[in-house]
Amino acid sequence: MSRSNGFLLWTALAVAVLLLLNLPVTASRELRGVLREALAPLYGAVSGLGLRLREAVDVLRGLGGHAAENRRLAEEVTHLRRQLRELSSLEAENETLRALLGFQRAAERPLLAARVIARDAAGWWQSVRIDRGARDGVRPDLAVITTEGLVGRVVETSARTADVLLISDPNCRVAARLPRAEADGVLVGLGVRPDGLARCRLDFIHRHLEIRPGDEAVTSGLGGVYPAGLPIGYIERVQTDEQGLYRTADVLPHADLGRLRYVFVVMASADVPRGKGAP
């Protein structure tokens, strides 16, 4: 390879990259959409195959591990019974708080079921791709949940797919509230711990409010992206900066963000096309 050929190739690379980086936003979005749409069926097939494989592995693992599983479940039942006794006394108080805070259940809004077909191809972002897109009425800034709690929000759509930024991503911000302490804060993603659990942190909690591990965090509805009252997770640990104005708290999300298979997009009523929709 001669020196001039090498120079030509580096120049070609620079030109190609400059062209790509300077594409107009609409052209860039369209190109991205075309590539995603072209690969969507392949994604669906590969992720479906992966799901079946995982289920088969779970079944095989279950055959060998029933005794251990029984022991674990017995311990869990004991623990849960004790929790139930404690929680029943709090139930009445909880009902009152819900009424006072105008807690609105997410299920009152139309939900669109979707399957997770892929994750961010490189791993820089905590995001997933779902098999519902603009033609199903999905649009950016709609909240996405599972039966356990908040997952994230839609950030980009193509006709048949949508990208969901998870609450564990450092670029994701959620206006949150701790109903028991009547405290507001901003939830920020911190990525994933080495044990695979997603991490979040609740910032800007007023330092004089009493918050403690186990408090539930829900969306506050401020900012207009997430409907109020969607469960997010539990406070795991509280940190207080003696000199600071605020406290922060580590939050463990309810939803298992590392093993998402099916999710629900919380639609605005006007977004749901006829024949699609709530399960």
Partner 1 sequence: MKGLALLLKLAAAGALQAVMPTAPWLGGMRAPLLLAIALHYSLTRDRGFALFAAILAGLLQDALGRTPLGVSSFVFGGAMLMVGRFRADLFRSASVTQATLGALTGAGVTLALWMLLALAGWVRLSAGQGIIRVLGVAVMGALTAPLAIRVAERLDEALGLIPADRR
Q: Verify binding: residue 31, partner 1, rule CB under 8 A.
A: yes
Tallying the residues shown for the chain, one arrives at 279
Find the binder of partner 1 among 196, 213, 223, 244 (CB under 8 A). 196
Token output for 90: 């709090």
Closest CB 276 distance from partner 1, rounded Å: 25
**At closest approach, how far in Å is the CB of 124 from partner 1?**
5
DSSP 161-200: -EEEEETTSTT-EEEEEETTTTEEEEEEEEEE-TTS-EEE
84 binds partner 1 (CB under 8 A): no
Considering the complex, what minimum distance in angstroms separates the CB of residue 23 from partner 1? 6
Pick the binder of partner 1 from 98, 104, 140, 170 (CB under 8 A): 170
d(CA 94, CA 84): 14
Pick the closer one to partner 1 by CB: 198 or 217: 198
Rounded to whole angstroms, the Cα distance separating 165 from 118 reads 12
Burial class from Cβ neighbours inside 10 Å (0-12, 13-18, 19+) for residue 44 reads middle
H/E element, 219: strand 216-219
For 86, the token pair is 């404690």
For partner 1, the binding residue among 13, 73, 80, 278 (CB under 8 A) is: 13
CB of 86 to partner 1, least distance (A): 32
Is residue 42 involved in binding partner 1 (CB under 8 A)?
yes
Pick 21 or 99: Cβ nearer partner 1: 21
Which of 170, 175, 169, 125 lies closest to 151 in space, CA to CA? Answer: 169
Phi, psi angles (nearest 5°) of residue 210: -90, 110
Q: Which of 71, 105, 193, 212 binds partner 1 (CB under 8 A)?
A: 193
Q: Of 267, 254, 51, which is closest to residue 167 (Cα–Cα)?
A: 254
The contact mask relative to partner 1 for 124-153 (x = CB under 8 A, - = no) is xxxx-x------------------------
- Residue 119 within binding range of partner 1, rule CB under 8 A: yes
Give contact residues for partner 1 (rule: CB under 8 A).
1, 5-6, 9-10, 12-13, 16-21, 23, 28, 31-32, 35-36, 38-39, 42-43, 46-47, 50, 117-127, 129, 155-156, 163, 165, 170-171, 191-196, 258
